[in-house]
Structure 1
Amino acid sequence: MTAEGAAADNLPGAGLPATPLEDWSPRPWLLAGLGALAALFVHLLVDDFDPDAARSAGAAFFVFGSLSFALTLGPGRLRDSALFSGGLGIVMAGLAWHWVRAKDSAAGEEFAFAAAVFASAIAVPLFQADFHRTRFATSYRLTHFHVWTDAITGAGAIAFTGLSWLLLVLLDQLLQLVGITAIDWLFDQEWFGWVWTGGAFGAALGVLRNNLKVIGSLQHVVLLVLSLLAVPLALALLVFLVALLASGGQALWNATDAATPVLLACAVGCFVLANAIVRDGEDAISGNTVMRLTAIILAAGVLPLAVFAAVSMGLRIGQHGLTPERIWAIIAVGVAVAYGLAYVAGMIRGKRAGWAGQVRQANLYLAAGTCVLALLLALPLVDFGAISARSQVARLDAGEVSPDDFDYTALRWDFGDAGRRALDRLAQRDGLVGEKATLAKAQTSRPYDWDRDLAQDGFTGTVRVQPANPALQARVEALLNAEPWRCSVYCVALDLGAQADGGRQIALVQGYGYEQLTLPADPASPAAPPAPEVAPAAVPLNEQSRVEVREETVRYIYIDGKKLGQPLP
C-alpha cells in the first residue's frame, strides 16, 4: 500500500491524505480554459448535429478526456492525470468511432456506448484513489470520498453553469436598456454558447475542487439526508416481500411488462441507501439502532429484488424471445444478483459486528469487476442482434408465435444486419411468412409503435391514381402495403411524371396535406422520399449586374377548388 493509502486509513477525523484536499490556486483558471477550449472543439466537430464517425470520435475524446483531466488534475499529478485522461479519451473516441460507423448495421449501439460511459464513471474515482498502484489494497475510505466528491462537485458545477446563463441573460437585458447589444450579438454566435458553458462549468468545478474539505463536510450532510429515505424504503421492501410471499408470487407474475425495471430500480435504491448508512468506516456509520437495522434490511434486500427481476425477465423472454434490449437487461440483472450475493455472503461472514466492513470490501471488488465488464461489453465482441434474430426465428419455427403475430418489423430495424439477413431468408419462404417478410423488407422508415399493426395487416384503405394508370395503381398499392401509415383511410396519388432514371414521381394527397415520393423504375424496390431541399447557390452581384422580375408558372394541388399546402417544385 502507498503512503497515501496508509494515511487514508490512519489519519484521525476525515481520515484522508492531504493531497486531494490541497487548495491549488491555478486550478479554477486552468479548468475554465480547458472547459472553454474543449467545448469549442466539440462545437466545431458536431455543429451539423449529424457528425460522421471521425468527428464523433474527436468529440468523444474532448468530452471524456477533458472531464477526466478536470476531475483528476492536482499538484504533483499532472503527468499521471494527463496519461490517464488521454488514454480514457482515446478509448472513448475509438468506441464512438466504431458505434457511429456501425449505426445501421449494429444492434443496441446506444447501450454499448452507455456501458463505456458507465465504465469511465467507475474508472475515474478508482484512479483518483490510486487503484492502479495499490490494486485491492486501495483504501476504501479514499475511494468512497472520491466517488461522492466527484458527484457533488459535478452537480454543483452544472448548477453554477445554469445560474451563469441566467445572469448573462439578465445582464443582456440590463445593457439593452442603454442601447448596448454586445451580449445579444454574442448570443447570435453559435460558438459562444459552447465556450461560455464549457468555461463556466470548468471554473465552477475548479473552485469546488479547491474546497474539498468543505465538500467533504457537505458529503456528510448529503449522506445523512439520503439515509432518512432509507427507513421508508426498508419498510416498503418488507411490505412488498410479505405481500409477494402471501400471494405465492402471482401478483408479480401478472405484471411482467413493468416488473423488471421497477425491481432493478428498487435494488439500486437499496444499494445506494444502504451505503449511505454504512458510509466509509466504522467510525462514520450511524450509531442509531433503527438506522443500522435499516441498513441490514436494505443490504439483504438487494438479492431478493434482483432474483425476482431475473425471474420476471425470464418469463418475459419465454413469452416473447430475446431482443438486444432484453439481453442488456439480463446483464444488468446479473450485476444486481452479483451485488446481492456479495452482500449476503459478507453479512454471513461478518455476522452482526463486522458485516458493514464486509460490504465495503465487496463494494471495492465489485466496482473493479463491473468496470472491466462494462468496458468489455462496450467492445464489439458479441453481436446481440444475431443472438436475438436466431432466438426470434427459432420461436417462429417452433410454433411459439404464429406467422401473423411475428414481429417482422423488429428484424428489419432493431437487430442490425443480422436481423435483415434473417428477414431475407424468411422472405424466400412460401406462404404468409414470405409475404409478411417481403412487406417488412420494403419498409423505408421505421413504423411508430402504433403503426405496427398496420404494417402487419397491410394497407386497408383506398387509393386513387390520377390520371388513371393500372400499372401505376399496382405500384402505389404495393408501396402502401409495405408502408400503410402513409395513407390512413383514403388518399389520391397524383402522377407528376417520369424521372430520368425511369422512376415515377407521385404526390400522395390526403385531406391535411401531401407528400412527394419517387417510385423506382424497379417495382420491387422500395419507394424513396424526395431529396432534401438544398438552398440555392449564391449568385455574384456587382455594379454591372442586371436585376429583373420574371413571372413563373407555379403548380399547386387543389381539392374541390381549394388550394392545398405549398407549391409543387
Structure 2
Amino acid sequence: MSGVIAGQAVLLAGLGVMLDRDLWPSDNPAVLVPTFTLTFAWPTLVLFAAAPGNFRRTAAFASACTVIAVLLGAYVGWQATPAGKFNVNAVYPIYVATMLVSGFIALGFLQQFVARERIRYSALFANAWRNLLVAGLSLALLGGVGILLALWAALFAVLGIDALAETFTEPWFILPTVGIAFGVGTMLFRRRDGLIDGIVGLLESLARYLLPVVLLIVAVFLVTLPFVSVTALWDTGLGSRILIALGAIAVLLVCIAYRPGADLRYPRPVQLSVTVVVAVLPVLSALALVGILIRVGQYGWTVSRCWAFSYAAILTLFSLGYLWGVVQHRSEWPRITAPVNVFVAGLILAVLLLQNTPVLDFRAISTKSQLARVESGEIEAAQFDFQYAERELARPGHLVAEQLVADLGFDPRDERVWGERSIPLVAEGELDIQFGGGAIVRRSPDDVPDRDFWAEMSYRPEPFVVPDGVREAIDREAYIAYRVEQPVLVQAELDGDSDRTEYLLLGVWRAEFPGSPGIPRQAWFRPLAYAIVDPGDGWEFVMLTPSNSHKPSEDPETVFEVLHSAPIPLRPRYNHVKIGDTVYALPARDWPSAEAQSSSTGDTP
C-alpha cells in the first residue's frame, strides 16, 4: 500500500508543478479534470478495498471503476469549455460531490466483488459504515497535518525565511501532502476494528433514540398541515426543501436504527406508532414533488430543481418500499428494508453517474427548459436569465446565451444595458430603456409613449405658470416620458436667493423585475427628483442623486402621497466641504437644529 501512496504523491506533485507554472493541460479542462480523477480515484479505491492476498483482483476492479470515472470527468471537463468564457465555479463542486457519493456507494459493492461474495445488505451496510468512518478519521488526520504545516509556515515567516514559508502554499507541495496524509490515515484506521465498531455502536444507539422523536415531528407536521394549508408552506419559499430534509432525516435514521441483525425492540406502543408514521412517509415526498413541479410549471427547470426532484423521487422510492413492508408485514415491516435499501442504493449510484453524462445532464436539461420558455413566448428573449446561464449552466448555457445575443442584436450582459441602471443611454439614433432586472426595450427617440405628460402634471404649492425655458428643458429629456410616473412640479429656492426661483420635478419610478427561475415577477416604486436650474446661460435639467439609501415601496400610492404632502427642506444644516476637486457631504439625516441642541444640553451660564 505504501507504493500506491508514493505513486499517487508523485503524480500529484507533477500536477502541482503543472498548475503552478500554467503548463498544459492546466488550461484545458477536458484533459485536466479526467487527469485529476484518475490520480485520486484509482489509489483511493485500492487503499479502501485491498486486503492481503487480493491486490491484483482489487486493482483490476478499481481500474474498471476508474475508467468509468475518467470518462465522466472528460465529459464534465468538456462542459467547462471554452475555458475562461463563463463561470465554472458551480461545475467542479457538483462533479466532486457526485463522484464522492457515487464512489462511496460503489466502494461498498466493490469490496464484496473483491471478496468474491454475493451482494448482501448486511455486508454492504457494514462496509459503508467502516468506509465512512475511516474516511472521516483520515480527513481529521489530514486536518491536523494541515494545522501543523500552517504553524510551521507561520514560524518560518516570523523568522524571515520567506522561501520556506511560501513552499507550504505551493500546489506542488499541497497536493502530494494531501495524498500522503489521507493515504496514511486510511492504512492506519482500516486496521482499528475495535475503534470503528465502537463508534458504529454509539451512532446506532443514538439513531435508535432519535428515530421516534423525528417520526413524532413528522406526525405532528402532517396532522397540522391541513389546518394551515399547504399554501403557507409554499409561501416560505423553502417548502420543498423542508419536506425533503425532514424525509431524508427520517429515512436515514430508519436505515441506521434497523440495521441487519440488530436487536431493536421498541416497546409495543412505540413500535406501533413508528409503523403508522412510516406508512405515511410517502406524503412528505409527494408534497415535495408537487411543490417542485409547481415551480417548474411557473419558471421551468433549473439545476437546483433537477436535484430537488431527484432527491424527492429517491425519498419516494424509499418510503413506498417501507409502506409496502407495512402492508405485507405490519409491525414487522423492517424485514423489507434490506431489499429496498439495496435497490435504491443502486438507483442512486446510477443517477449520480448519469448526471455527469449527456443522458441526464441537469445543466443541459435546465438550458433546454429555459430556452423553451423563450421560444414559446412565455418570456422575451431579453428576459432570459443570462446571468444564471453563465453562472450555473456551463457550456450549454453559454452556447444558448450566445445564440440569444446574436438573435437580439445586442448583449444584455453589457454593463450599458444590464443591471439596475437608472439612466437611459442614447447612442446611434436609438434610445435604450431599462426597467430594472433585465427587462430591456429598445426604442427610437421618436417612439414616445402616447401620453400627455403636462396634462398629468401636479403642482406644489399650487398651480403656477411654467416658464417656457423650464418647459423646454424638461421636454428635451425624451426618457422622462418613460421613467417618471405621476409627475409633480415644485417651485423652490434651491440656491437661497429669494429673487430667483428654481424648480423640482418629482415623480414615481417603477422598477420591475420580470421574473427568473425560482423568483416571481415583482415591482418596486421609489421617488425620483430632478432640478431645473439656470446657472446663467439657460435652464438646465439635472438629475438629483440620493445621499442615503431608501428602501423602495411596493405601493405606488405611498410614494405619490410622499411627493404631494411631505415637507421639502432645502437647506442643510452643514455645508459641503471641498478639498481639491473632491466634494464631501455629511450623510443625510434629521440633524437637530442649533437652538434645539442648546436647550437640550442646558447651555446656560
Normalising by structure 2, we get a TM-score of 0.61
Shift of 1:128: 1.1
* Structure-1 residue corresponding to 2:494: none
Match of 1:138, SS state, is coil
Larger RCO, structures 1/2 (Cα 8 Å, 6+ apart): 1
Native 8 Å contact 1:323 1:385 kept in 2: yes
- Tell me if the contact between 2:134 and 2:186 (Cα under 8 Å) persists in the aligned partners: yes
Counterpart of 2:13, as a letter, is L
CA 1:38–1:156: 2 relative to 1, 3 Å: farther
Contact 2:422 2:434 in 1 (8 A): no
- Higher percent of residues as helix: 1
What is the CA–CA distance in structure 1 between the aligned matches of 2:245 and 2:320, rounded to whole Å?
17
Q: Is the 8 A contact 1:40 1:195 kept in 2?
A: yes
1:264 aligns with 2:234: no
Deviations 1:358-416 (A, max 9, x none): 11221112212322233233222256556545544554566655778554655676556
> Aligned partners of 1:418, 1:296: CA distance in 2, in Å?
46
Quote the residue 1:341 is aligned against: 320
Q: Deviations over 1:228-270 (max 9, x none)?
A: 3333322221111111122342322333x31222221222111
Q: Give the deviation of 1:167 after TM superposition.
A: 3.7
Q: 1:299 and 1:276, CA in 2 relative to 1: closer, same or farther beyond 3 A?
A: farther
- Amino acid of the structure 2 residue aligned with 1:36: A
Secondary structure of 2:301's match? coil
- In the other structure, the counterpart of 1:82 is 59
CA distance in 2, matches of 1:350, 1:421: 54
The answer to whether residue 257 in structure 2 is matched with residue 277 in structure 1 is yes
Shift of 1:337: 1.4
- What's the offset of the Cα at 1:276? 1.8
Determine whether 1:126 maps to 2:92. no
Q: Are 1:316 and 2:295 an aligned pair?
A: yes
Q: 1:52 to 1:173 in 2, by over 3 A?
A: closer
Q: Cα–Cα, structure 1 residues 203 and 293, in superposed 2: closer, same or farther, change >3 Å?
A: farther
Q: CA 1:139/1:398 → structure 2, altered by over 3 Å: closer, same or farther?
A: closer
- Preserved contact between residue 277 and residue 292 of structure 1 (Cα < 8 Å): no
Structure 2 residue aligned with 1:40: 13
Counterpart amino acid of residue 377 in structure 1 = Q
Q: 1:162 to 1:390 in 2, by over 3 A?
A: closer
Distance in 2 separating the partners of 1:475 and 1:223: 73
1:241 aligns with: 222
Where 2:238 maps in the other structure, the secondary structure is: helix
1:197 deviates by: 2.7
Question: For residues 302 and 150 of structure 2, what CA distance do their matches in structure 1 show?
Answer: 47
Quote how far apart the aligned CAs of 1:166 are.
3.1
Secondary structure at 1:214 match in 2 = helix
Structure 1 residues 394 and 210: CA distance shift in structure 2, 3 A? closer
Match for residue 251 of structure 1 among 216, 232, 246: 232
Larger Rg: 2
Separation in 2, partners of 1:383, 1:172: 43
Kindly tell me: are residues 226 and 322 of structure 1, through their superposed partners in 2, closer, same or farther at Cα, counting changes over 3 Å? same
1:360-399 alignment runs, 5 A limit = 360-382=338-360, 384=362, 387-396=365-374
SS in 2 for 1:381: coil
Q: Note closer, same or farther for the CA distance 1:291–1:115 as it changes in structure 2 (3 Å cut).
A: farther
Structure 1 residues 184 and 117: CA distance shift in structure 2, 3 A: closer
Change (3 A) 1:191 1:480: farther
Question: What is aligned with 2:172?
Answer: 191
Alpha-carbon separation, structure 2, partners of 1:223 and 1:159: 21
Native 8 Å contact 1:42 1:62 kept in 2: no
Q: How many residues align?
A: 436
Q: How does 1:4-403 map to 2 (within 5 A)?
A: 29=2, 32-33=5-6, 36-37=9-10, 39-47=12-20, 52-104=29-81, 111=94, 114-130=97-113, 137-168=118-149, 184=165, 187=168, 190-255=171-236, 257-281=237-261, 283-287=262-266, 292=271, 296=275, 299-300=278-279, 302-353=281-332, 355-382=333-360, 384=362, 387-396=365-374, 400-401=378-379
- Is 1:460 the equivalent of 2:419? no
Percent of pairs with identical residues: 21
1:306 and 1:333 in contact (8 A); partners too: yes
Amino acid at match of 1:344: L
CA distance in 2, matches of 1:286, 1:41: 55
Structure 2 residue matching 1:279: 3-state secondary structure: coil
Question: Is the partner of 1:204 in helix, strand or coil?
Answer: helix
Distance in 1, matches of 2:72 and 2:202, equals: 38
Partner of 2:557: none
Is the Cα–Cα contact under 8 Å of residues 45 and 59 in structure 1 kept in the other structure?
no
Q: Is the 8 A contact 1:335 1:370 kept in 2?
A: yes
The separation in 2 between residues aligned to 1:92 and 1:475, in whole angstroms, is: 55
Deviations, residues 475-519 of structure 1 (Å, cap 9, x unaligned) = 9998999999xxxx9xxxxxxxxxxxxxxxxxxxxxxxxxxxxxx
Alpha-carbon deviations, 1:454-493, whole Å to 9, x = none?
A: 7377x43378xxxxxx9xx659998999999xxxx9xxxx
- Which residue number corresponds to residue 413 of structure 2? 443
Separation (CA, whole Å) in 1 of partners of 2:131 and 2:158: 41
Q: Note if contact 1:455-1:481 (Cα within 8 Å) is conserved in structure 2.
A: no
Instruction: Please name the residue that 2:569 is paired with.
Output: none
Counterpart secondary structure, 2:418: helix
Query: Post-superposition shift, 1:153?
Result: 0.9
Decide whether the 8 Å contact of 1:152 with 1:215 is kept in 2.
Answer: yes
Q: What does the per-residue CA deviation read over 1:91-135, in whole Å, with 9 as the maximum and x for residues that have no partner?
A: 22222222112225899855566444432221111111339955x
Give the letter aligned to residue 328 of structure 1. W
Aligned partners of 1:69 and 1:85 also within 8 Å: yes
The CA distance in 1 between the partners of 2:148 and 2:395, in whole Å, is: 50
In 1, the alpha carbon distance for the partners of 2:367 and 2:309 equals 17
Check conservation: 2:247, 2:285, Cα contact below 8 A: yes
Contact 1:230 1:294 in 2 (8 A): no
**What is the identity, as a one-letter code, of the residue corresponding to 2:211?**
A
Provide closer, same or farther for how the CA distance between residues 131 and 377 of structure 1 changes in structure 2, counting only shifts above 3 A: farther
Q: 1:174 to 1:404 in 2, by over 3 A?
A: closer
Q: Is the 8 A contact 2:79 2:396 kept in 1?
A: no
Alpha-carbon distance in 2 for matches of 1:116, 1:172: 32
- Unaligned runs of 5+ residues in structure 1 are 1-26, 429-433, 448-453, 464-469, 490-558, 563-569
1:424-463 per-position Cα deviation (integer Å, ceiling 9, x unaligned): 77668xxxxx7xx444x45369x9xxxxxx7377x43378
Can you give the 5+ residue segments of structure 2 that lack an aligned partner in the other structure?
A: 439-527, 529-578, 583-605
